[in-house]
Amino acid sequence: MKNRQWHTLAFFYCQNVPGSSELDRQALEKRYGSCIRLFPVPCSGRVEPIHLLRALEEFADIAYVITCPEGSCRYFEGNRRAKKRVERARAIIASIGLEAERLGIMVSSEKAPKELSTAVEEVYERTYHIKPSPVLNKSAA
State the average pLDDT for the chain: 91
- What is the average per-residue pLDDT within 14-19? 92
* DSSP secondary structure code for residue 123 in this structure: H
| CA–CA dist 75, 45 (Å, integer) | 8
Predicted pLDDT at 49: 98
pLDDT band at residue 139 under the 50/70/90 scheme: low
Q: For residue 123, which amino acid is it?
A: V
Predicted pLDDT at 112: 86
- Give per-residue pLDDT as tens, 62-94: 999 999 988 888 888 898 899 999 999 999 999
Question: Are residues 35 and 138 in contact, defined by beta-carbon separation less than 8 angstroms?
Answer: no
Q: Cα 52–120–140 angle (5° rounding)?
A: 55
pLDDT over threshold 80, residue 101: yes
Q: Cα 57–49–43 angle (5° rounding)?
A: 120
Say if residue 66 is exposed, middle or buried (CB neighbours under 10 Å; 0-12, 13-18, 19+): buried
Q: For residue 95, which amino acid is it?
A: S
- What is the average per-residue pLDDT within 112-138? 90
Structural domains of the chain, with CATH: 9-125 (3.40.50)
Predicted pLDDT at 140: 46
Q: Where are the alpha helices (DSSP H) in the chain?
A: 22-32, 49-58, 78-95, 116-126
pLDDT band at residue 137 under the 50/70/90 scheme: confident
